[in-house]
Structure 1
Amino acid sequence: MTIPTIPEVYKELLDAIDVGIHIIDMDGSSLVYNRKMSEIEEMNKEEVLRKNIMEIFLFQSEEESRLLQALQSGKVHKNEKQVYFNFKGQEITTINDTFPLVSEGRRIGAVEIARDITKLQLLTRENAKERTAARFTFDQIIGDSPVLREVIHHAERAARTSSSVLIYGETGTGKELFAQSIHNASSRASAPFVSQNCAALPDSLIEGLLFGSVKGAFTGASSHAGLFEQAEGGTLMLDEINSLSAPLQAKLLRALQEKTIRRLGDTKDRKVDVRIIATMNEDPAAAIEENRLREDLYYRLSVVSIVVPPLRQRRQDIPVLTSYFISKYNEMFQLEVPAITEEVEAVFNRYDWPGNIRELEHMIEGAMNLIYSSEAIEYSHLPLHLRTKFSTSMDMLPPLEAEASTFVAKPLKTYLEDVEREYIQQMLARNNQNVTKTAAELGVSRQSLQYRIRRLEF
């Protein structure tokens, strides 16, 4: 039995989707090879269709081809990495689903659905050296607000030990600055600092990246050390730890508890001496309640918890940060911008800064791209969304002095935190500071209440 001829309309649909599709018949000849697969493997359809795949791809044996395994033995592979070479000698790396095609109980061919990670794999290799550099120290964290100085003080104390640290803060608040500063102030400063964004790679890659692999663990795999081994004696920072899948979080927990790792495909454990600093951009209590973070992993990571405040909670730092970024881009762009105007200062003081310090820097950089000489940054240089938010004339806004003399406005989040703090304090007093009873009355877990007490700092 052969595979029925595929109508042209279906071929057009296959060309429109954003995953690679490769179908072969029982002879191993290519019948379908869609546009995306052509892009992934950098070959024209004419070079592939109606040819045996062993003629156009460089496998040492048929056993190395997932597609031929599916064809010959009916073996199914789900979400597996495959590294191979096309006949031009170009290395291809994909994550594949491969399975046989069956009709009336008989195999008539096989299909492979591929997602391209070639560029991602190259980027991972190219950035390997960059991940081992910790450039920042505590004296480079800009700001003098009491809330920031208190966080720095806590982080400096954490640098004295090798306990795990969990840093929570919104996007753009500077969590990695704190992680690097802790490393550089610790006894591990001369050892590697390795960082990895856990959300940047799929699970099929991140496991091998963290723990390493041995030759033969999967097709194309070679023996290599993972990030744990690369960070030996130093610090491993895992950004967006809550993006890891539950199985990977369990393996990470085991590595932290036993201080050993096992490479993919290996049978022996390897001891590692690594300090873990994990970061998150969401409330850990919410991540636990919504099953994005294992509770036992949270306990292991949060031996020391550091909450980096958003910019709207440290507004008095905006002028010094603004001055710093203007100096930075003056040097980079060879300009002589002196400052921002009073109008711009008023806008900055009233804006909520959802993107925090990163947004402020990008706003300064964008404004200075519009400046030709040594003029100050004006209201007209600000991005459209900000000018729209505060109307076209700053004259419509009341002076800061008049506003302060009558009513002090707070961002909604700050107001809600104040209310939450006061209510929790009242409930604790009602229960004679018994956290367990208070948590039960509030309808939250004891761990969640403890986290909120730390975050609200009372």
Structure 2
Amino acid sequence: MVRTRNGRHNREDGVKRNALQDRLMENQQKILLYETILEHLDVGIHVINQCGETVVYNATMSKLECCNADEMLDKNLLSAMPHLTEDTSTLFTALRTGRALNNRQQTYINAHGQQVVTVNSTTPLQIGGRVFGALEIAKDITFIQELAETVMNLQEKLFHCKKGTVSNGHHPNTRYVITDILGESAAMKTALSYAVRAARTASNILIYGETGTGKELFAQSIHNLSPRKNQPFVAINCAALPEQLLEGLLFGTTKGAFTGAVDRPGLFEQASGGTLLLDELNSMNLNLQAKLLRVLQENSLRRVGGVNEVPINVRVIGTMNMEPAEAIQEKRLREDLFYRLGVMTINTPPLRDRKEDIAAYTAAFIGKYNPLLGIRVQGIAAEVKDVFRRYAWPGNVRELQHAIEGAMNLIDDEAEIQFHHLPMAFRANLVDALQLKRENLRQELMSFDRPLTDQREAMEKKLIAAALAVAGDNITKAAERLGLTRQVLQYKLKKYKLK
């Protein structure tokens, strides 16, 4: 009995040891997994313990701060970074206060004396309400900051150098006037008439349309047709910059607003008296949109970190690559900002809805590239005209321009652009579009599992229901919409049991 009992105990101990070894192995694998993830993230990760000593410092943070991990790990942060203090370090601030610091822009000197600009999010690490460390996630925006400041400086110098000078109807920062916008289609004529009317006023404008439909061309043309044409035209792409940097660029900064901040006017102040174009407005963070709304309402702003109100006189033109209603529904545009900014709205129609304009664009692009390329192309072949007419042009006018330019680079002494001159990428798009069209048609044919009569009646039923809805259930008005007599419509309503 004793021997049996001891054997059972030994087996149980062996099972426990195996379970413990399996758990240790699992934990080791998890640690290796987490370490691998940390080392391959494209953001800097820095963690300190409750004593302020660095316990995690990944490769991206090491590259960002130009410090080896050995210089930071297991060392007090303030000793490794002598320029920091407990008050200026966001990690120590989070450790001391127990509060998170989100999206803070910082400009600081690293351990090797190099200036670094980052956007940081720092959070305290807690267990049971007790702070045992702090985590910082940093993204390097040094290059973006330098590029943005260079653009601002050049733009400011350009304006001061050419202030008050307008040649051929152009402001120095613009290239287009209203006569540069081509198009004889009804949709384009409507957009142009709105642009001409908008130019007369000082109201803000929202221009929306697909990529490649000429939204910035409209914005520049409106400015050059307006009473503000002798004043600055300043443009910024809202999708190209992080929120913290964009805010400083728009509203300006005050010395001390954040580490490394200087007194600098923003784009609103640089555009004083003129026009500010906010391209891809729907890419702007909603919090920043709220601040923009306040500026538009008050006609004044506060620089980042400032307390004084700066009056502004700027007309704002916003552009979006989607319809306002869709942007509002998807939480990409504040509804109150739309009402403030979209005093006038202009829709730049897609090329597929105005293919009668293709001929004018084609002639204009050929005329543009002939002298540039030293050739004498007179037009496009009938086959190419047919292709252009059938194609859906997802890239709109910009895609057409690239197709013409690409084709003219392949021409020798021919007078017309032939199909084989078209760029290979464009021809590949044509093939893809044709295949998609054929597949959609095939799917439609496969769905016809009922006789044609039944299909026709189903469609007729839908159209009648839609007409009734539009007419508010008024049979006479619905009949007029459908081109039927009241008696015939009543017969069909009874037949389809719609009323």
Provide TM-score, normalisation by structure 1: 0.77
Counterpart among 217, 221, 225 of residue 261 in structure 2: 221
Counterpart among 363, 366, 380 of residue 323 in structure 1: 363
Structure 2 contact 411–417 (Cα < 8 Å) conserved: no
Structure 1 equivalent of residue 118 of structure 2: 94
Structure 1 equivalent of residue 413 of structure 2: 374
* Map 1:372-411 → 2, pairs under 5 A: 373-375=412-414, 376-380=416-420, 381-382=422-423, 383=425, 384-389=427-432
- The answer to whether residue 12 in structure 2 is matched with residue 11 in structure 1 is no
Q: What do residues 358-403 of structure 1 show as CA deviations (whole Å, max 9, x unaligned)?
A: 121222334445x1633454323332433414669xxxxxxxxxxx
Structure 1 equivalent of residue 271 of structure 2: 231
Residues 1:229 and 1:130: Cα distance change in structure 2 (over 3 Å): closer
Structure 2 equivalent of residue 117 of structure 1: 141
Q: Equivalents in 2 of 1:248, 1:296: separation in Å?
A: 13
* Map 1:16-55 → 2, pairs under 5 A: 16-26=40-50, 28-54=52-78
Question: Structure 1 stretch 359-368 or stretch 255-264: which is displaced more?
Answer: 359-368
Q: What do residues 314-345 of structure 1 show as CA deviations (whole Å, max 9, x unaligned)?
A: 21221222233334444445555554332222
Structure 1 contact 227–236 (Cα < 8 Å) conserved: yes
Question: Structure 1 stretch 233-242 or stretch 335-344: which is displaced more?
Answer: 335-344
Residues 1:152 and 1:387: Cα distance change in structure 2 (over 3 Å): closer
The CA RMSD over aligned residues, in Å, is: 3.3
Structure 1 contact 379–387 (Cα < 8 Å) conserved: no
- Tell me the amino acid that sits aligned with residue 247 of structure 1: N
Q: Residue 103 of structure 1: CA displacement?
A: 5.5
Q: Residue 111 of structure 1: CA displacement?
A: 2.3
Q: Residue 9 of structure 1: CA displacement?
A: 4.4
Q: Residue 108 of structure 1: CA displacement?
A: 4.2
Q: Max radius of gyration: which structure?
A: 2
- Tell me the amino acid that sits aligned with residue 264 of structure 1: V
- Tell me the amino acid that sits aligned with residue 428 of structure 2: H
Structure 1 equivalent of residue 101 of structure 2: 77
Larger RCO, structures 1/2 (Cα 8 Å, 6+ apart): 1
Counterpart among 116, 125, 134 of residue 174 in structure 2: 134
Structure 1 equivalent of residue 235 of structure 2: 195
Residues 1:22 and 1:361: Cα distance change in structure 2 (over 3 Å): same
Structure 2 equivalent of residue 154 of structure 1: 194
Q: Equivalents in 1 of 2:468, 2:288: separation in Å?
A: 35
Q: Residue 216 of structure 1: CA displacement?
A: 1.6
- Tell me the amino acid that sits aligned with residue 207 of structure 2: I
SS of match in other structure, 2:87: helix
Q: Equivalents in 2 of 1:357, 1:368: separation in Å?
A: 17
Q: What do residues 277-324 of structure 1 show as CA deviations (whole Å, max 9, x unaligned)?
A: 112221112223343323332222222221111112221221222233
Structure 2 contact 468–474 (Cα < 8 Å) conserved: no
Q: What do residues 57-95 of structure 1 show as CA deviations (whole Å, max 9, x unaligned)?
A: 473644222123334554531121111122333321111
Q: Residue 37 of structure 1: CA displacement?
A: 1.8
Q: Residue 98 of structure 1: CA displacement?
A: 1.4
Question: Structure 1 stretch 240-249 or stretch 422-431: which is displaced more?
Answer: 422-431
SS of match in other structure, 2:402: helix
Q: Equivalents in 1 of 2:80, 2:374: separation in Å?
A: 53
SS of match in other structure, 1:349: helix
Structure 2 equivalent of residue 171 of structure 1: 211
Q: Equivalents in 1 of 2:265, 2:473: separation in Å?
A: 53
Residues 1:87 and 1:138: Cα distance change in structure 2 (over 3 Å): same
Q: Residue 173 of structure 1: CA displacement?
A: 0.5
Structure 2 contact 55–73 (Cα < 8 Å) conserved: yes
Structure 2 equivalent of residue 450 of structure 1: none
Q: What do residues 98-146 of structure 1 show as CA deviations (whole Å, max 9, x unaligned)?
A: 1334457654443211122222212212332459712211111233334
Residues 1:174 and 1:56: Cα distance change in structure 2 (over 3 Å): farther
Structure 2 contact 66–112 (Cα < 8 Å) conserved: no
- Tell me the amino acid that sits aligned with residue 48 of structure 2: I
SS of match in other structure, 1:216: coil
SS of match in other structure, 1:220: coil
Question: Structure 1 stretch 325-334 or stretch 265-274: which is displaced more?
Answer: 325-334
Residues 1:59 and 1:317: Cα distance change in structure 2 (over 3 Å): farther
* Map 1:305-316 → 2, pairs under 5 A: 305-316=345-356
SS of match in other structure, 1:343: helix
* Map 1:202-351 → 2, pairs under 5 A: 202-334=242-374, 337-351=377-391
- Tell me the amino acid that sits aligned with residue 225 of structure 1: P
Residues 1:253 and 1:121: Cα distance change in structure 2 (over 3 Å): same
Structure 2 equivalent of residue 442 of structure 1: none
Q: Equivalents in 1 of 2:468, 2:351: separation in Å?
A: 25
Structure 1 contact 284–293 (Cα < 8 Å) conserved: yes
Q: Equivalents in 2 of 1:288, 1:387: separation in Å?
A: 34
Q: Equivalents in 1 of 2:413, 2:63: separation in Å?
A: 48
Residues 1:278 and 1:125: Cα distance change in structure 2 (over 3 Å): same
Q: Percent identity?
A: 48
Query: Counting helix residues as a fraction of each chain, which structure ranks higher?
Result: 2
